[in-house]
Chain A
Amino acid sequence: MKQYDKLLKDLAPQKFGIIGKVWITFLAVIILIALYAYYQQFDKGLVITGMRDYALWGVYISNFVFFVAISLVGSLVTAILRLSGVKWATPLTRISEVIAVAAIMMGGLTIIIDMGRPDRILNIFLHGRLQSPIIWDVLVITTYLFISLLLLYYPLLPDFAILKKHFKNKPKTSKWYGKLSLNWTGSAKQEKIYTKSIHTMSVMIIPVAFAIHTVTAWLFATTYRGGWDSTNFGPYFIAGAFVAGAGAVVMLMFILRETYHLEDYITDMHFDKMGKLLVLLCLVYLYFNINEFLIPAYKSTNEEAAHLQGLFFGEFSLMFWLAIIGGLVVPVLVLIFRKGRKPIPLFIIAIIVVIGAWWKRYIIVTPTLLHPLLPIQGVPESWHDYFPTALEWAITFGTLAAALLIMTILFRYLPIVPIHETAEERGYLETEKTETL
């Protein structure tokens, strides 16, 4: 009973401290700046961005691809590891589900931000062509968002019931948790439906998650453009998404563990395992990168040669090598050593991985557009290059801040580590039931 109470005390949602309030204010300020910038864009159009006829996709689309990539971690940790019978991942499931929900919400919103005429969004549904990968993307994002919300909500039912009881001295809070628990009592029938539903979702989310990022890759790969014209793009994107997602989970694991003192639940062992997993994912993604760059470099068609020249030695080389070496090679070299998988080094590596993953999306999207099949002629000099404007950066940082705000708010009201599952795994529930009887 004592152990269970401690677990409840440790894992029940806690009010924001001073750091939490400062953090929320900081995010709110960034979002407000972004809203002002978006008002400018809504009023004047996409002319306020650096995008022109050639670079018609810019930082918004690379940010969108990043969000979709990050969101895939929900399926990795929750579904793949759950179905593989990996028990150590339990404390990380909620974190990855929250990341998935926040990222996919902001991913969808980013697409709307990229529209010159967002007031015409309904036209996508009214006149959209099922033959277009853009429509596939709209359908699959909507589906993934819904299934991610369900996958977040279902495992919360027993936790909500526990929290209802835990907060009985706060009637209002208790009432809300009670409503959200859908009268969960843990009866045999409820358990049966619950287990079956979670299992179904865990199976179903994997193809949907693969579809969402494969379709995002197809937005590029269905064209003949240098750097995009690849049959390998779907798996390449998925491999990269798992790296970015795993990096994001490690970052949040560390921050949440330190903020809420969850050392008993998110242990060094979890960091060690996630470090190993990250090495594996980085190696797989490196393999796909070699595939994506070596073969086009070997063939060196005019378009590919111009594109690769820009990446390897040209204007994008700094970003490219930082993303490849910093975001993939260095993590592997550091994390193969046990000491590298300790919380602090792993956290630092995870930050580099996530930043590298963000820039990797940027150099997937932009350089190709600046190397069109026909020469760029008869346009102003400024159209030959692309770099986001200050307003574009403001909006982009706003979306990132909004994703972090969604996560922060969800972690404020939801248990970061699943209470019911953890108690069950540790055998506390049996003890509690026996003691109650």
Chain B
Amino acid sequence: MIKSVISRSKSVLLIFMGVLAFFGNDAYGQEDKTSARLSVEHVKIMNENSSLNIKAIFKGEEGYEPCENLNFIIYKINEAEEISEEDSEAVSEEKIGEVKTNQEGKASFVIPSQFVTPLSTYSIRIENSDTYKDNEEDVTVIDANLEASVEEIDSIYHIKARFVSVENEPLAEQTLKVGLKRLFGSLSIGEDDSYETDEDGAILVPIEDGLTGVDGKLTFQVTLKGNDDYGTIIAFVKSDIGVPVEDQSTFGERTMWSPPTKTPIYLLLIANIILIGIWGVLLLLVINLFKIYKSKIN
């Protein structure tokens, strides 16, 4: 009786292990992996490049944490009318590159210029990662141009920007931000936080006087931020209209805050005169001890 129970249990176990070995490995592996949450922003910098800024996070024990060293494969999804009917499955998407996240879970992929088209769809995918489950995020953008320049109108400098499609059609009622590029960000220009394009797709923003820059050089920045159709587009305008920054550095001079080799001369003199004066007297006092020692007879 007992023997038959044992042999039946063994058979069940063997069957179970066999099923696990045959089907379970892959399924179990995917379940064990972490789900990554993706966000992708398409950024076009005028006259430079277009890129995909990717951020990946996962829900860890201490809240959301960045996915480090996570590899993404980027595909360009071609429009249906561009591909032949008989070969639709094979050519509907094309791998255009790979990119890996940094410690902050961020990655930036510069899109090769040959893959930038008037209407582009990109698919950003996690494939066969050891740690994260397969996932993908698609981004579709319509290409457009943002032209910006500095113009003097009635003795006041203005930022003039025009937002147009690739066919040079004005794009009205779009919100643009105007700023002055600084070391750690952008300084808002004009009275408002943002400006809406008129029927010519244009904005005109006066620039206040007294903005400072190295050698008077200023870099203005006009931005269409996170637009549903066009993504983010940034245009930089360089100009020489700023007030030159005067270099007031005391580097290499003798100051109270310079290194030991650059002590101010007056301080060196005063301190050394005092020190030599006092220690000179102390030396004489020590000599006097010798004199006392030697003068016992007198």
Contact A194 B292 (CB under 8 A): yes
- Known contacts being A157-B292, A187-B297, A197-B285, is A131 close to B258, with CB within 8 Å? yes
Tell me whether B268 is interfacial, beta carbon within 8 Å.
yes
How far is it, in angstroms, between the C-alpha of A144 and the C-alpha of B238 when the chains are bound? 63
Contacts of B294 in A (CB 8 A): 183
Q: Which of A136, A150, A183, A197 has the most CB of B within 10 A?
A: A197
Decide: A182 and B264 in contact? CB cutoff 8 A: no
In the bound assembly, the distance between CA atoms of A153 and B263 in angstroms comes to 37
A188 within 8 A of B: yes
Q: Is the pair A130, B263 in contact by a Cβ cutoff of 8 Å?
A: yes
Q: Is the CB–CB distance between A131 and B297 below 8 Å?
A: no
Query: Residue of A at shortest CB range from B293?
Result: A182
| Chain B count of residues within 8 A CB distance of the other chain | 28
Q: Which of A139, A153, A196 has the most CB of B within 10 A?
A: A139
Contacts of A190 in B (CB 8 A): 292, 295-296, 298
Q: Are B282 and A150 in contact (CB under 8 A)?
A: yes
Contacts of A127 on B, CB cut-off 8 Å?
260
1/0 per position for A412-428, CB-CB distance to B under 8 A? 00000000000000000
Name A193's contact: one of B256, B257, B268, B292 (CB within 8 Å). B292
Contact between chains at B263 and A184 (CB < 8 Å): no
Of A71-79, A200-208, A337-345, the one touching chain B: A200-208
The number of chain A residues with a CB under 8 A from chain B is: 30
Q: Given the complex, which residues of A lie within 8 Å of B12, measured CB to CB?
A: none
Of the residues A130, A193, A204, A208, contact of B295 by C-beta under 8 Å: A193
B264 pairs with A131, CB closer than 8 A? yes
Q: Which of B257, B285, B295 contacts A150 (CB 8 A)?
A: B285
Please measure, in the bound complex, the distance between the C-alpha atom of A188 and the C-alpha atom of B295, giving whole angstroms: 9
Interface residue B16 (Cβ < 8 Å from any Cβ of A): no
Residues of chain B within 8 A (CB-CB) of A184 are 292, 296
Interface membership of A433, Cβ < 8 A:
no
B267 contacts A131, C-beta separation under 8 Å = yes
Tell whether B281 is near chain A: CB-to-CB under 8 Å: yes
Residues of chain A lying within 8 A (CB to CB) of residue B15: none
Q: Hey, what's the 0/1 contact readout for B227-268 against A, CB within 8 Å counting as 1?
A: 000000000000000000000000000011111100110011
Residue from A128, A139, A194 in contact with B275 in the complex, judged by beta carbons closer than 8 Å: A139
A188 touches B260 (CB 8 A): no
A201–B284 Cα distance when bound, in Å, is: 11
| B289 at interface, CB cutoff 8 A | yes
Q: Is B271 interfacial (CB 8 A cutoff)?
A: yes
**CB <8 Å contact, A204 and B271:** no
Please, how many angstroms separate the alpha-carbon atoms of A186 and B282 in the complex?
22
Q: Is the interface of B mostly helix, strand, loop or mixed?
A: helix
CA distance A130 to B258 in the complex (A): 10
Whole-angstrom CA separation of A170 from B156 in the bound complex: 102
In the complex, what's the smallest C-beta–C-beta distance from A205 to chain B, in angstroms?
10
Query: Known contacts being A184-B296, A187-B297, A189-B295, is A197 close to B259, with CB within 8 Å?
Result: no
Q: What per-residue 1/0 map shows which CB atoms of A148-168 lie under 8 Å from chain B?
A: 001001100100000000000
Q: Is A185 an interface residue (CB 8 A)?
A: yes
A182-B293, A188-B298, A193-B291 given; A131·B257 CB < 8 A: yes
Give, as a whole number of angstroms, the nearest-CB distance from A139 to chain B.
7
A187 CB contacts on chain B under 8 angstroms: 295-298
Output the least CB separation between B254 and chain A (Å). Answer: 10
Give Cα distance in the complex from A115 to B286, angstroms.
32
Do A131 and B296 form a contact, CB below 8 Å, given A182-B289, A193-B288? no
| Contact A201–B285 (Cβ < 8 Å) | yes
A16 at the interface (CB under 8 A from B): no
A147 within 8 A of B: yes
Q: Is B187 on the interface with A (CB-CB < 8 A)?
A: no
Do the beta carbons of A185 and B296 come within 8 Å of each other?
yes
Is B279 an interface position by the 8 A CB rule? yes
Asked if A130 and B282 sit within 8 Å, CB to CB, the answer is no
A317 CB–B CB distance under 8 Å:
no
Central interface residue in B293, B294, B297, by most chain A CB within 10 Å:
B293
Q: How far is the CB of B291 from chain A (nearest CB, A)?
A: 5
Q: Say whether B278 faces chain A, with CB atoms less than 8 Å apart.
A: yes
A129 in the interface (beta carbon within 8 A): yes
| Residue pair B260, A208 in contact (C-beta under 8 Å) | no
Cβ of A363 to closest chain B Cβ, rounded Å: 30
In contact, A130 and B267 (Cβ under 8 angstroms):
yes
Say which residue of A136, A182, A200 sits within 8 Å of B281 (CB atoms): A200
Contact check, A129 vs B259: say whether CB atoms are below 8 A apart: yes
Residues of chain A within 8 A (CB-CB) of B264 are 131
Interface string of B26-44 (1 = CB under 8 A from A): 0000000000000000000
Please, which residue of chain B has its CB at the minimum distance from the CB of A128? B260
Q: How far is the CB of B228 from chain A (nearest CB, A)?
A: 37
The answer to whether B295 and A143 touch across the interface, beta carbons within 8 angstroms, is no
A146: interface (CB < 8 Å): yes
A127 to B271, CA, bound (A): 16
Which residues B51-102 have CB closer than 8 A to chain A? none
B residues in contact with A147, CB < 8 Å? 282
Interface pair B268/A130, CB less than 8 Å apart: yes
Cα–Cα, bound, A182→B287 (Å)? 12
When C-beta atoms are compared, the residue in chain B nearest to A198 turns out to be B285
- B259 (CB) vs chain A CBs: closest residue: A129
C-alpha spacing A129/B281, complex, angstroms = 25
Docked-complex contact B288 and A197, CB < 8 angstroms? yes
- B256: shortest Cβ distance to chain A, in Å? 5
Residue of chain B at shortest CB distance from A150: B285
> What residues of B have a CB within 8 angstroms of the CB of A130 in the complex?
260, 263, 267-268, 271
Which of A131, A182, A197: most chain B CB closer than 10 A?
A: A131
CB distance from A126 to the nearest CB of B (A): 9
A188-B298, A189-B298, A200-B285 known; A131 vs B293 contact (CB < 8 Å): no
A-B contact pairs, 8 of them (CB 8 A): A129-B260, A130-B260, A131-B267, A150-B285, A150-B286, A183-B294, A187-B295, A201-B285
- Give the 5 A-B residue pairs with the shortest CB-CB distance, closest first: A183-B296, A182-B293, A189-B298, A189-B295, A131-B256
Apart from A129-B260, A129-B263, A130-B260: 10 A-B pairs, beta carbons within 8 A: A127-B260, A130-B268, A150-B286, A153-B289, A154-B289, A183-B293, A189-B295, A197-B288, A200-B281, A204-B281
